[in-house]
Amino acid sequence: MSAVETLLTNARLPDGRQGVTIAINDARITAILPPGAPRPEAGAVHDAGGDLVLPALTDGHMHLDKTFFGLPWMPHRAQASRMSRIETDQVTLPALPLSTAARAGELIRRCVARGTGHIRTHVDITPTFKLTALEGLLAAREAHAHLASIQIVAFPQAGVMRAPGVAALLEDAVRAGADLVGGIDPSEVDRDARGQLDTIFGIAERHGVGIDIHLHEPGELGLYGVQEICARTRAQGMQGQVTISHAFGLGALPESKQKAAAEMMAESGVALASHGAGGATLPPLFALAEAGVRVFCGNDDVRDSWSPYGNGDMLERAAVIGWRVDVRHDPLLEQLFAMCSSVGAEVIGITGHGLAEGKNASFFTIPAETIGEAIGQHPPRRLVFFRGRLVAQDGAIL
């Protein structure tokens, strides 16, 4: 075997193999060698020490522009309602003494040090912020391209139809570098579901981008939102390009309606992103996945203007979600891990994700024996690789 750039020795794989060596060259896994097999020469050799190797985590729903990391502790200021949080944002975020790019960078590095290789983040596009928050995230993405892939959703946090000028700003955001166009509660926030969906699907069609819509609406109203989004997706041939984030309303529906909604989403190719919100009903994640819906996970708000909680660790988030939906057995924990890794990577367009020859060399090592233990205990990550490079060790970016 020819010389390679890097070897990771004494590794454990999720399928139970132990003592293997992973050979890396040109950002890809070129071989997985069993114990005792001849090893090629390598420019660098790292000993996994028997740790479990897992493919890079995917955080499929973040708000990097809102985080307070890099600043002293800030008490939560908004009241309990969503509109209060939106209004508080408009005053709080522009007055922070640290730029959007700097705060986002602080959180990106924390995520990477905990094994995340791929992020989908929303960025507020509002009459107050215009494109300033987007410009900060574009700068942060460029500065951290060697650590993680970052996909940006232009997100109309304050609404579309009720906020003059936002439709044009969303289009400008896509032209400026946002990868998807977002939406939020078409009936509850805008009180004009048809108007909002016409607008954002129109932008997506004109620019050839995907869609990710926050849907917090409860019960039957939330179901109506899901139905309308699925109908638009089919009508415009956008199967596989649309995500509904949250869909809390599905969690409060009778089982028969949940099943019908799952079948509709699967048929329409509409994915679902969830963060396991503590104060809301959750959609039936595993039933949706069983029906064929691509279900993936994200941290959502991480120590920011909406929530004081979180550290960017997707394994800790998986533990929270698993606890909420009462997942206990290893096969389901493995499926939950996929929602936090491979499924999210597929939805955001990452090819070559996984642990096999020819796959991207983006993975991390963790002192655990199985995926179940990795989620249940979520111990610190020891080595983190991104596209063949060691980028973090023992919780610190290199």
What is residue 257's predicted lDDT score, i.e. its pLDDT?
Answer: 98
Nearest to 36 by CA among 16, 15, 21: 21
pLDDT per residue, tens digit, the chain (398 aa), is 799 999 999 999 999 999 999 999 999 999 999 999 999 999 999 999 999 999 999 999 999 999 999 999 999 988 888 788 888 888 899 999 999 999 999 999 999 999 999 999 999 999 999 999 999 999 999 999 999 999 999 999 999 999 999 999 999 999 999 999 999 999 999 999 999 999 999 999 999 999 999 999 999 999 999 999 999 999 999 999 999 999 999 999 999 999 999 999 999 999 999 999 888 899 999 999 999 999 999 999 999 999 999 999 999 999 999 999 999 999 999 999 999 999 999 999 999 999 999 999 999 999 999 999 999 999 999 999 999 999 999 999 99
Instruction: Report d(CA 159, CA 49) in Å as an integer.
Output: 51
User: Which parts of 100-155 fold into alpha helices (H)?
Assistant: 100-113, 132-143
Give the list of residues 6+ apart from residue 34 with CB closer than 8 angstroms, or none.
Answer: 17, 19, 20
What is residue 1's predicted lDDT score, i.e. its pLDDT?
Answer: 75
Q: In terms of CATH architecture, what is 4-55+352-397?
A: Roll (2.30)
Side chain identity, residue 80:
A
Please, where in the chain does CATH 2.30.40.10 lie?
A: 4-55+352-397
User: Which parts of 45-165 fold into alpha helices (H)?
Assistant: 82-92, 100-113, 132-143
Instruction: Report d(CA 312, CA 116) in Å as an integer.
Output: 9
Torsions phi, psi for 343 (to 5 deg): -65, -45
What is residue 300's predicted lDDT score, i.e. its pLDDT?
Answer: 97
What is residue 68's predicted lDDT score, i.e. its pLDDT?
Answer: 97
What is residue 85's predicted lDDT score, i.e. its pLDDT?
Answer: 86
Q: CATH for 57-347?
A: 3.20.20.140
Q: Which two tokens stand for residue 59?
A: 């955080």
CB 126 within 8 A of CB 166: yes
Q: Which two tokens stand for residue 283?
A: 């959609």
pTM over cut 0.85: yes
For 263, other C-beta atoms within 10 Å of its C-beta total 14
CB 1 within 8 A of CB 18: no
Torsions phi, psi for 193 (to 5 deg): -60, -45
CB 203 within 8 A of CB 171: yes
What is residue 160's predicted lDDT score, i.e. its pLDDT?
Answer: 97
What is residue 180's predicted lDDT score, i.e. its pLDDT?
Answer: 98
Nearest to 312 by CA among 51, 111, 113, 159: 111
* SS3 assignment, position 273: strand
Side chain identity, residue 2:
S
Torsions phi, psi for 355 (to 5 deg): -115, 85
**Residue indicated by tokens 């009508």:** 235
What is residue 12's predicted lDDT score, i.e. its pLDDT?
Answer: 98
Nearest to 228 by CA among 244, 216, 241, 204: 244
Instruction: Report d(CA 182, CA 240) in Å as an integer.
Output: 15
Nearest to 274 by CA among 302, 252, 243, 303: 243
What is residue 90's predicted lDDT score, i.e. its pLDDT?
Answer: 84
Torsions phi, psi for 194 (to 5 deg): -60, -45
Sheet containing strand 20-25, strands side by side: 28-33, 20-25, 4-11, 42-47
- Residue 177 burial (CB < 10 Å; 0-12/13-18/19+)? middle
CA atoms within 13 A on the CB side of 108: 30
Please, where in the chain does CATH 3.20.20.140 lie?
A: 57-347
Nearest to 229 by CA among 209, 214, 219, 218: 214
What is residue 81's predicted lDDT score, i.e. its pLDDT?
Answer: 82
The secondary structure of residue 360, as a DSSP letter, is B
What is residue 279's predicted lDDT score, i.e. its pLDDT?
Answer: 84
